[in-house]
A and B are shown apart, each in its own frame.
Chain A
Amino acid sequence: MVSSKTAMGYQSSRTKETASDHSLMPPCQAACPLHMEIREYIDLIAQGKVMEALHVIRDGNPFPSICAYVCTHPCEENCRRVQVDNPLAIRALKRFAVEFGGDRMIDLEAETKYDDKVAIVGSGPAGLGCAYYLRKLGYPVTIFEAYLELGGMLRVGIPKYRLPRQVLDNEIQRLVQIGVEIRTNTRVVSLDLLSDMEYKAVFLTIGAHQSLRLGIDGEDSPGVIDGATLLREVNLGLKPALGSRIAVVGGGNVAIDAARTAVRLGTTKVTILYRRSREEMPADPEEVEQSLQENIDIRYLVSPTSISRTDGHLQVSCVKMELGEPDASGRRRPIPIEGSEFTEEFDSLITAIGQSPQVPDTFKLRIGRGSTIQVDPITLTTTRVGVFAGGDAVTGPATVTEALATGRKAAFRIHDYLQHKYPVDEKNDKAILSGELLSKTTETIKTQNRQEPKVVGPKARTKDFRPIEKVYNWGIAVAEARRCLRCGMGAEILFQDKCASCLTCLRVCPYGVPYLDETGTVQIPADQCQACGICVIECPAEAIVLRKPYDRSHINEALDHALKSASETKSSPLIIGFCCQYGLYGTGLLSGFWRQAKAGVQIVPVLCVAKVEAHHMLHALEMGAQGVFVAGCGEMCAREKTSFWVEQQIEKVKKVLVQLKLGEDRLQFFDPSTMEEEPVAALDMFTEHIGGLYLESLLKQEVKS
Chain B
Amino acid sequence: MIVVEQKPVDEIQRIIAPYEKVLILGCGTCVTVCNAGGEREVSFLNDALLLAEAESKSISHAFSQHTLKRQCDEEFLDLIANQIEGIDTVLSLACGIGVQCLAERFQDTVILPGVNTSFMGMAKQWGVWDERCTACGDCRLEETAGICPITRCTKGILNGPCAGTKNGKCEVHPEMDCGWILIYQRLERLGQLDKMRRYYPPRNFRPIPRPRRIVASPSFAAAGGSHG
Number of residue pairs across A and B with beta carbons under 8 Å? 78
Q: Which listed residue (B9, B13, B38, B54) contacts A540, Cβ 8 A?
A: B38
Say which residue of A504, A615, A618, A623 sits within 8 Å of B35 (CB atoms): A504
As a 0/1 sequence over residues 41 to 64 of chain B, the CB contacts with chain A under 8 angstroms (1 = contact) are 101100110111011000000000
- B101-125 Cβ-contact flags toward A at 8 Å (1 or 0): 0000000000000000000000101
Q: Is the CB of A500 within 8 A of B38?
A: yes
User: Known contacts A500-B32, A507-B125, A540-B39; is A624 also within 8 Å of B9 by CB?
Assistant: no
Query: In the complex, what distance in Å separates the CA atom of A508 from the CA atom of B125?
Result: 10
Q: For the complex, give the distance between the alpha carbons of A619 and B116 in Å.
A: 26
Q: For the complex, what is the distance from the CA of A659 to the CA of B48, rounded to whole Å?
A: 10
A238 within 8 A of B: no
Q: Report Cα–Cα, A692/B29, bound state, in Å.
A: 45
* B126 contacts A by Cβ under 8 Å: yes
- Asked whether A507 lies within 8 Å of B126 as measured between CB atoms, the reply is yes
Please, which residues of chain B bring their CB within 8 A of the CB of A615?
43-44, 47
Q: Are B38 and A652 in contact (CB under 8 A)?
A: no
The verdict on B18 contacting chain A, using a C-beta distance below 8 Å, is no
Distance in angstroms from B182 CB to nearest chain A CB is 24
Q: Does A167 contact B (CB under 8 A)?
A: no
Q: What's the Cα separation between A660 and B52 when bound, in Å?
A: 7
Cβ contact within 8 Å between A622 and B51: yes
Q: Which residues of B contact A648 (CB under 8 A)?
A: 127
Q: Write the chain B residue with the least CB distance to A656.
A: B48
Residues 530-558 of chain A, each 1 if its beta carbon lies under 8 Å from chain B, else 0:
00000000111110000000000000000
The smallest beta-carbon distance between B56 and chain A, in angstroms, is 9
B28 touches A500 (CB 8 A): yes
CB <8 Å contact, B55 and A614: no
B40 within 8 A of A: yes
B174 contacts partner chain A, Cβ-Cβ < 8 Å: no
Given contacts A500-B32, A508-B126, A662-B55, contact A541 B39 (CB under 8 A): yes
- In the assembled complex, the Cα of A644 lies from the Cα of B35 at a distance in Å of 18
* Residues of chain B contacted by A621 (CB below 8 angstroms): 51, 54-55
Interface check B158, CB cutoff 8 A: no
Name the interface residues of A480-512: CB closer than 8 Å to any CB of B. Answer: 497-498, 500-504, 507-508
With an 8 Å Cβ cutoff, the count of chain B residues facing the other chain is 28
Nearest-CB residue, chain B, relative to A616: B47
Contact status A540-B51, CB under 8 Å: no
Q: What is the CA–CA distance of A618 and B44 in the complex, to the nearest angstrom?
A: 8
Is B138 positioned at the interface, with any CB of A under 8 Å from its CB? no
Bound Cα distance A507, B51 (Å): 30
CB distance from B71 to the nearest CB of A (A): 13
Q: Which of B8, B9, B32, B48 contacts A541, CB < 8 Å?
A: B32
Contact partner of B28 (CB less than 8 A), chosen from A504, A541, A619, A662, is: A541
Which residue among B29, B34, B55 has the maximum number of chain A CB atoms within 10 Å of its CB? Answer: B55
Closest to A614 in B: B44
Query: Is B47 touching A659 in the complex (CB atoms < 8 A)?
Result: no
**Of all chain B residues, which has the CB nearest A542?**
B39
CB-CB under 8 A from B126, the residues of chain A are 504, 507-508, 538
Cα–Cα distance between A615 and B46 once the two chains are bound (Å): 9
| Per-residue interface assignment for chain A, residues 410 to 446, with 1 indicating a CB less than 8 Å from any chain B CB and 0 otherwise | 0000000000000000000000000000000000000
Q: Give the residues in chain A near B8, CB-CB below 8 Å.
A: 659
616-675 of chain A: CB within 8 A of chain B? 618-619, 621-624, 648, 652, 656, 659-662
* Alpha-carbon gap, A64 to B50, bound state (A): 50
B10 at interface (Cβ–Cβ under 8 A)?
yes
Q: Which of A498, A502, A542, A652 contacts B33 (CB 8 A)?
A: A502
Are the CB atoms of A660 and B10 closer together than 8 Å?
A: yes
Which residues of B lie under 8 Å from residue A652 when comparing CB positions? 44
Residues of B contacting A541 with CB < 8 Å?
28, 32, 38-40
Set of chain A residues within 8 Å of B29, measured between Cβ atoms: 500
- Shortest distance from the beta carbon of B96 to any chain A beta carbon, whole Å: 19
- What's the nearest-Cβ distance from chain B to residue A158, in Å? 56
The residue among B34, B47, B69 with the most chain A CB atoms within 10 A of its own CB is B47
Closest to B7 in A: A659
**Residues of A contacting B33 in the complex (Cβ-Cβ under 8 angstroms):** 500-502, 540
Contact check, A502 vs B55: say whether CB atoms are below 8 A apart: no
Q: Are A542's CB and B40's CB within 8 A?
A: yes
Are B32 and A540 in contact (CB-based, < 8 A)?
Answer: yes
A648 to B50, CA, bound (A): 21
Evaluate contact between B10 and A659: CB separation under 8 angstroms.
Answer: yes
Bound: A660/B44 CA distance, A:
14
CA distance A541 to B40 in the complex (A): 6
- Could you tell me which residues of chain B, from 138 to 174, have a CB within 8 Å of some CB in chain A? none
A541 to B42, CA, bound (A): 10
- Which of B32, B35, B123 has the most chain A CB atoms closer than 10 A to its own CB? B32
The contact string, 1 if C-beta is below 8 Å from chain B, for chain A 448-467, is 00000000000000000000
CB distance from A441 to the nearest CB of B (A): 20
Which residues of the partner chain A approach B48 to less than 8 Å between Cβ atoms? Answer: 618, 656, 660
Which of A500, A614, A622, A623 has the most CB atoms of chain B within a 10 A radius of its CB?
A500
Nearest B residue to A697, CB-CB? B55
In the complex, chain A residues whose CB is within 8 Å of the CB of B38: 500, 540-542
**A266-B29 Cα distance, complex, nearest whole Å:** 79
Measured CA separation A659–B40 after assembly (Å): 19
- List the B side residues contacting A614 at CB < 8 Å: 44, 47
Q: How far is the CA of A12 from the CA of B178 in the complex (A)?
A: 65
Residues of B within 8 A of A656 (CB): 9, 48, 51
Contact of B9 with A660 in the complex, beta carbons under 8 Å: yes
In the complex, A482 Cα to B39 Cα: how many Å?
33
Residue of B nearest to A620 (CB): B51
Pairwise interchain contact A502-B32, C-beta atoms closer than 8 A: yes
CB neighbours of A622 from chain B (8 A): 47, 50-51, 54
Q: In the complex the two chains form, is B51's CB within 8 Å of A618's CB?
A: yes
- A500-B32, A659-B10, A660-B13 given; 9 more Cβ-contact pairs under 8 Å: A497-B69, A502-B123, A507-B126, A540-B33, A615-B43, A618-B44, A656-B9, A661-B10, A662-B52
* A interface with B by C-beta (< 8 Å): 497-498, 500-504, 507-508, 538-542, 614-615, 618-619, 621-624, 648, 652, 656, 659-662
A-B contacts, 18 of them at CB < 8 A, read A498-B28, A500-B28, A500-B38, A502-B123, A507-B123, A539-B40, A540-B40, A542-B39, A615-B44, A618-B44, A618-B48, A618-B50, A621-B51, A652-B44, A659-B9, A660-B13, A660-B55, A662-B51
The 6 tightest CB contacts between A and B, nearest first, are A502-B33, A618-B47, A540-B38, A507-B126, A500-B32, A622-B51
